[in-house]
Amino acid sequence: MSTLELSHGYCSEAGVKPANEDALGLHTPEEPLLTTKGMVAVIADGMSGADDGAQASSVCVRNFLTDYYSTPESWSVKQSALKILTALNRWLYSQGESTYGSSRGLVSTLSALVLKSSTAHLFHVGDTRVFLLRDGELQTLTRDHRTRTGEREFLTRAMGIEISLEVDHHAIAVRPGDTFLMTTDGLHEWVNDDNINRLLSEQPDDLINACRSLVQLALRNGSRDNVSAQAFTIHSLPVQDEESYFNELTALPFPPLLEPGQSLDGYRVVREIHAAKRTQVYLVVDEQSGEQLAMKTPSPAYSDDPLFIDLFLHEEWIGRRLNSPHVMSVVEPDRPRQCLYYIAEYIDGQTLRQWMNDQEGIALKRFREIIEGIAAGLRAFQRLEMIHQDLKPENIMITPDGTVKIIDFGSAKVAGLQEIESPIDRDVLLGTERYTAPEYLRGGSGTSRADIFSLGVIAYEMLTGELPYGTVLTPRNLNRVSYQPAALKNDLLPVWMDGALEKAVAIDPNRRYESLSEFLRDLRQPNPDFDLPQSLMERDPAAFWRGTSIVLLILLLISIASG
């Protein structure tokens, strides 16, 4: 397995100005943050006309470098960076207004590069620049946010100049040998691309001298601004081959099937709670604290299945980061493990499936409480940029006091982990077909609306005992099925609530609810849109066009016959 290796150099001079209002920085963290968050390089140039450009640029660089690593590891690079930049921009703007009474109080340009796995993510505001030198060719990766008025040029975008912020963002694949250069306008306005290319290429093993040479050339050419350059070259990327990855996955052996009374790492087995083809769950007692907990172990039959082991470890990783009373909590390990397993809270209760089977009829009040509890758990996933992807009654527990908890999240998709290259293909359909969103069946990737679809199917089933399309969806029948009104199957169900269910389980994700809160609102109070009769085109576009085609065909045949 190779790791990220790079060399780095920088130089920053005030030049002819009395103070240096440029700022730059680079941080390469230790593992596991290097894998989950990546390396960050930032450069900023305090605006000359600002009241305190030096503070603005310094805050931009310092805060981005620190705050980026404070965002959840599950977030994508884009989500993390844009959240930070938005908050940072608002702080600069408000401080400028309150301290200097001006929108030009604390203003700076900013260019940031996050190198994660084998991808460079660029975020850019202003007229600093980022270059890529690859195979002897220099490419400018950013565009200047400037406009000319008469003989003067002005920034059209900058950090702190407006309360709203528009950021350029794009991602590029990188490879060993790539050199990235970040500069302020005091350099790239006085050194042309040919000379930048030449000076970087002449000193590939000494980027400190290369940056110093670029700065000195800009000053000799007459630069009247602060002059800064920061460069780094990638020597190797974090790439893991299948063999080394499998060795890492199998570092811990699988435990045997456990019996009551047996102990493993200080956890005594009381009884087996659940046994499935792939995993077992045991009620255990921590022999140190006496606390009752749940132990989940992998089935020995899958000890040579790298995808299964990866997903098992993946589930523990996710569970330790979720924090909600409506999601099963996974316990942080406090002792060495001899085998592969994880410990979670013990949930005394029954699955939603068992609860549904026990009910002869469900009151709408209790129905809403359960759906709202599931939605509260899903929000915990959404806050961490995760999608559950396998929501079903068997994966939902109801405790004796009525609390709803989501369990079993081994199928969850994590935006931040999706960005990390792996020899294991995690893009496999892992959900349960009765509740799987149609976009997955079509081979697409899901969003949070896929979980809303699954929640809608559960809600429909709770109220009717059936599926919303009368059958399990498959790739072949997606274009032929029609929604079966729940109000026709449950006389107590208002038409407007049926409308909410229909929208939640729409085949087209763009016609579904965008947020859980909208769905919950329409389950609690009438949406006037659902009381109005819809046209066939709105209810079922496929049926509308089938009918239209038949009518046109009949008219054509009549025309031919009469002609």
Q: Domain check: are 325 and 356 in the same one?
A: no
> What's the DSSP call for residue 327?
B
Question: Which of 221, 239, 257 lies at the terminal end of a domain, its last residue?
Answer: 239
Does residue 560 lie within any of the structural domains?
no
Q: Domain check: are 192 and 229 in the same one?
A: yes
- Helix axes 364-383 and 448-464, enclosed angle (nearest 10): 160
pLDDT 10s digits, 233-282: 999 998 877 777 778 888 899 999 999 999 999 999 999 999 989 999 99
Does residue 368 lie within any of the structural domains?
yes
In this structure, how many other beta carbons lie within 10 angstroms of the beta carbon of residue 378? 24
Does residue 561 lie within any of the structural domains?
no
Residue 416: domain span: 350-532
- Residue closest to 409 by CA, chosen among 509, 323, 298, 311: 311
Q: Domain check: are 206 and 77 in the same one?
A: yes
The CATH number of whichever domain residue 461 belongs to comes to: 1.10.510.10
The pLDDT of residue 529 is 86
Tally of CA atoms within 13 A in the half-sphere of 293 that contains its CB = 22
Does residue 490 lie within any of the structural domains?
yes
Q: Domain check: are 247 and 328 in the same one?
A: yes
Question: Which of 192, 219, 239 lies at the terminal end of a domain, its last residue?
Answer: 239
The pLDDT of residue 1 is 61
Does residue 87 lie within any of the structural domains?
yes
Cis peptide leading into residue 494 (ω within 30°): no
Does residue 543 lie within any of the structural domains?
no
The CATH number of whichever domain residue 315 belongs to comes to: 3.30.200.20
- Residue closest to 191 by CA, chosen among 225, 168, 158, 157: 225
- Across the beta sheet with 404-406, what order do the strands follow? 350-351, 396-398, 404-406
Q: Domain check: are 131 and 272 in the same one?
A: no
pLDDT 10s digits, 342-366: 999 999 999 999 999 999 889 999 9
Q: Are the beta carbons of 122 and 41 closer than 8 angstroms?
A: no
Q: Domain check: are 386 and 506 in the same one?
A: yes
Element (H, E) at 25: strand 22-27
Element (H, E) at 434: none
- Residue closest to 41 by CA, chosen among 147, 152, 124, 158: 124
Show the CA angle centred on residue 14, arms to residues 8 and 18, nearest 5°: 160
Does residue 541 lie within any of the structural domains?
no
Q: Domain check: are 502 and 419 in the same one?
A: yes
- Residues ≥6 apart with Cβ < 8 Å to 113: 40, 41, 42, 120, 121, 122, 123, 130, 180, 182
The pLDDT of residue 536 is 44
Q: Domain check: are 380 and 267 in the same one?
A: no
Residue 121 forms beta bridges with which residues?
114, 171
Does residue 556 lie within any of the structural domains?
no
Question: Which of 204, 239, 274 lies at the terminal end of a domain, its last residue?
Answer: 239
Q: Domain check: are 182 and 265 in the same one?
A: no
Q: Domain check: are 475 and 428 in the same one?
A: yes
DSSP 120-188: EEEEEESS-EEEEEETTEEEE-----EEEETTEEEES--BTSSSS---EEEEEE--TT-EEEEE-HHHH
- Cα distances from 516 to residues 76, 136, 540, in angstroms, run 21, 51, 23
Q: Are the beta carbons of 112 and 123 closer than 8 angstroms?
A: yes
The CATH number of whichever domain residue 85 belongs to comes to: 3.60.40.10
Q: Domain check: are 425 and 448 in the same one?
A: yes
Total number of domains constituting the chain:
3
Residue 356 forms beta bridges with which residues?
none
Q: Domain check: are 42 and 163 in the same one?
A: yes
Element (H, E) at 295: strand 292-298
Averages of pLDDT over runs of 10 residues in the chain (563 residues) are 90 96 97 95 90 90 97 97 97 85 82 97 98 97 90 88 95 97 98 98 95 98 97 92 77 94 97 94 97 97 91 94 97 92 96 94 94 98 96 96 94 92 70 89 91 98 96 91 94 93 97 97 92 50 64 71 63
Q: Are the beta carbons of 345 and 293 closer than 8 angstroms?
A: yes
